[in-house]
Structure 1
């Protein structure tokens, strides 16, 4: 009898007991009534009387462990919160409110209470802001590893619904002129709408290993991004295997196809992107002049400004990877779709942070 009750207690679930004493006593009575159906003799009753106090203690301990860790998180200073979870408390609270309103986290009241949105979001931040495996994260929040992974996937899916609002190509002329002016003030180059570049995200050896092995000898997924003067992403394209060059990734991206079909719509008034020498020279994409002894003084000066400008993309990618350390390296995980979605979610959060001047 006791073994049956213990199995019920330890069943893998994404839920935990609610904080109210009413729910605790209800859960207790439910277990008692459930187990009584299987009691056959006085020996079972005696076993139950010895075993149920232990079960009640485990239920209370589980809830207290979760509450204690939430209390630890909320007792962080602002600097500790941002360093450990990647976001400021202000942004985290705003996103938690949005997550709760979205309904993507179940809020039914029957049986076991599901993990609340606040806890789900902290689990996700603990995952994306660090490179540690799932086991210590699951241990701290006192849920199973499988439940931890389900929570992370669900929050990632929700963040992706915010992508179109967070990562936007400049539309109206006032916004375009503001970006161009910001670049001119920083770099001295006029009519520049952004910097385009790629970064490699290191992954474990996938099924199609040769395709994902890059020129540096490790397996990776490529993130292509265009960046404005404030280091915000204005367009991203992610998921191509690491063996591809930046030029090939560009040609496969929606940005390239849209610019080819409607250049005036994306790059009005002769605006353009700058990219390194691996990119093709296009009417809307300007690489540096190829180095040779015949370059004019103006061309050499432009190359110098061009090189300084491209450092903005390095700075943006470094900021992304230092804030969300998971993007530096995906250990264990081999699901390319999950990795790609997580990288995109990190880019969305990156723009949220910069919008708040962090």
Structure 2
């Protein structure tokens, strides 16, 4: 986590101030006479303030009540790590709202900056700072009902197999070396067929045309139980639609941005909203694009024995 937070250290001298951006917009050559978009003044103070609760939810993808909870939790960190030295201080609520708008929509930084009356570089700085604040509170002990994430690992901003990511995660090594601290005698996690079966990770039987009726029944119940994680990811992607195409200039910030979005996901679930189902349906259109890739049946005798025992006792 410390490594994730360290990458948010910004070189303030490398980013232009809002005044410099305005000057660039006004005086740089404009050969095609393109209209320079104007910023919206008092969007938060007037427009957002007058949003109904439904309008607030539709635009920011979280409830107003959840936003005020988030504002309370992040304000100490954002004020402590104030990074806009030498500039007019941007109110914390405007920083958070602008970042929520970025996560909830595919709008460009320039467009969102104009809406919230700030320069592109200032919006980028706000984004980094809010992501850092969310990563700081990510390790807290948050209650975990259905659909909440209790452990997240996002260390590979590229196309990497699920099993490779899992085997390089901190939680995998803890399961291997400190299994007794995580699992009781009858406790285990379940995974899809991309993962190997072990004594603490139960996966479905790989269907090569020779499954017994009992094994087919086990796979059916296993898949039904595993739907909770599919719904969790659907809700995450449905609420924060930018995650579908997370095009960022700084690739090193992608993992921390994903962790921040997962933290927001958990916070939103502490106060569920009425449009919960709509976000899940939107998200399913994204997460169901790919198909499972059958994994190899590692020679993990304990895992095979446990799976066969579970199948026999359904």
The 5 A counterparts of 1:174-213 are none
Give the stretch that moved more between structures: 284-293 or 313-322. 284-293
Q: 2-side partners of 1:166 and 1:82: how far apart? A: 26
Q: Tell me how large the CA RMSD over aligned residues is.
A: 2.6
For 1:30, the equivalent position in structure 2 comes to none
Matched, 1:348 2:267: no
For 1:115, the equivalent position in structure 2 comes to 90
Residue deviations 1:163-213, cap 9 Å, x none?
Answer: 011667xxxxxxxxxxxxxxxxxxxxxxxxxxxxxxxxxxxxxxxxxxxxx
The unaligned stretches of length 5 or more in structure 1 are 1-7, 14-60, 169-227
Secondary structure in 1 aligned to 2:105?
coil
- Is the 2:104–2:240 contact (alpha carbons within 8 Å) kept by the matching residues of 1? yes
**In the comparison of the two structures, how many residue pairs are matched?**
241
For 1:141, the equivalent position in structure 2 comes to 116
For 2:221, the equivalent position in structure 1 comes to 305
Residue deviations 1:48-92, cap 9 Å, x none?
Answer: xxxxxxxxxxxxx98xx4324432112222222122112111111
Q: 1:96 aligns with which of 67, 71, 94?
A: 71
Matched, 1:276 2:276: no
For 1:58, the equivalent position in structure 2 comes to none
Question: Relative to 1, partners in 2 of residues 1:242 and 1:106: Cα closer, same or farther, differing over 3 Å?
Answer: closer
The unaligned stretches of length 5 or more in structure 2 are 1-16, 23-37, 274-314
Query: TM-score scaled by structure 2?
Result: 0.70
Question: Relative to 1, partners in 2 of residues 1:298 and 1:308: Cα closer, same or farther, differing over 3 Å?
Answer: same
Q: 2-side partners of 1:317 and 1:111: how far apart? A: 41
Residue deviations 1:302-355, cap 9 Å, x none?
Answer: 100111222222211111011011111123x13222121111100001001112
Question: Relative to 1, partners in 2 of residues 1:336 and 1:239: Cα closer, same or farther, differing over 3 Å?
Answer: farther
Question: Relative to 1, partners in 2 of residues 1:229 and 1:311: Cα closer, same or farther, differing over 3 Å?
Answer: farther
For 2:174, the equivalent position in structure 1 comes to 258
Q: 2-side partners of 1:111 and 1:283: how far apart? A: 57
Matched, 1:87 2:62: yes
Judging by fraction of residues, say which structure has more strand: 1
Q: 2-side partners of 1:326 and 1:166: how far apart? A: 27
